[in-house]
Chain A
């Protein structure tokens, strides 16, 4: 189970980081979402992974650490609010700046930079 768990967290983090490095806001927002999923899973595992263990004393034979669950809950709520904020901000940026690049302008090496040299074909 540990190996699968580690693989999932690693994969989510990898995808999150990759998407965060994109130039447009939509992939970046997706990347931040994935990073927050990854971090939630990671936090959850910080108390140790166990089968059949309740977080309440006496409810099962063994018990699991309840604190990571509380931490994850807080992190989920905060992450949710932050993602909501950045989605709205991305829409506002699209409206204000006229494009959805993170830098607010198109990168210089696109069509516009090349076309004057080519001339009108």
Chain B
């Protein structure tokens, strides 16, 4: 039985090469692993090893031949009757381009349903809301645990985990050394094996130490495993600027994480957002980035007292209804937008304020419905403008309701510089309600 030896592909991009030298002659026996030829590619000279056993019966391509296409027969073996390579060159693979599958996206932005009514409320701080959410979920599911720097004995660098060590013990409220890359990878591994970790980053600035594990392991493994390996994990902590902590501790990661398929990204503003969304994040079977804000931790909001209170991820909330302009914000920027709306009301302009709550998935339906009514859009965020959340929203509005716009959308954002330390300079770097008012006045 004759076996053809084919010109091999020796790199992901090789289509042809030079057969520079034969190391076996006609009549010579060949064993698996023997070097039979040298081939030059555009990158290197490579040795070709035999895969099958036999005796060389003919050399089909003389040495020195250039431009030998991959899969061209270059020699023949008279085999020993053993299993051999296919004697024919495989047909050119799948020449017909597969019909592109349509991207599954909402055909039309869905009509906005009202939030579920949760009844009685009580004022609590965002800090208390976050702690209560974690405590409630840890009581509900013993696979949930909290891990991070200073979360246990210190009670949290920002006191978010106050009291959790006492209630749940050191097995479930776990202090780590200051090694974000290592403990994040460990938590992701635990999630792949079925646990539900809550990873606290002291601030999201430090998540950059671990971003490889967040993106390459947590976000992509479900896809890479063909749906076998889900990763139910929450990464939470304060994001964005605090107060005069300088460039390395004052950055917004909203756009960084929202860029990546495989992640959900949530950014609460109020205590109700914080509590309801964190509970949903912990129950979610996917990795969730939960962006908090240090300035908001001490702020008080009314929050439902219902012990089952939870909010769905992926739903925005209209915080203030209006007619003349839609202002979209998330996290602390919702507060900025609300103050701007008050100032605008005094000037006779009625602004609708949308609290995004979730950045990925983005509730574009709620924004589109609002813009169709107001015909104007202003976005507000503390992060940098380039490829930011505002840029994404503006583009999606153009894709969905361009004809409804009476003016180009305007972005209000943090100034495009590393955060300065000086009191006056930092104030100049972050959006104020007046900036939003000015942006609205440009287009209304």
Q: Do these two chains really belong together in a complex?
A: no
Which residues of B are interface residues toward A (Cβ below 8 A)?
none
**Which residue numbers of A lie inside 8 Å of B, CB to CB?**
none
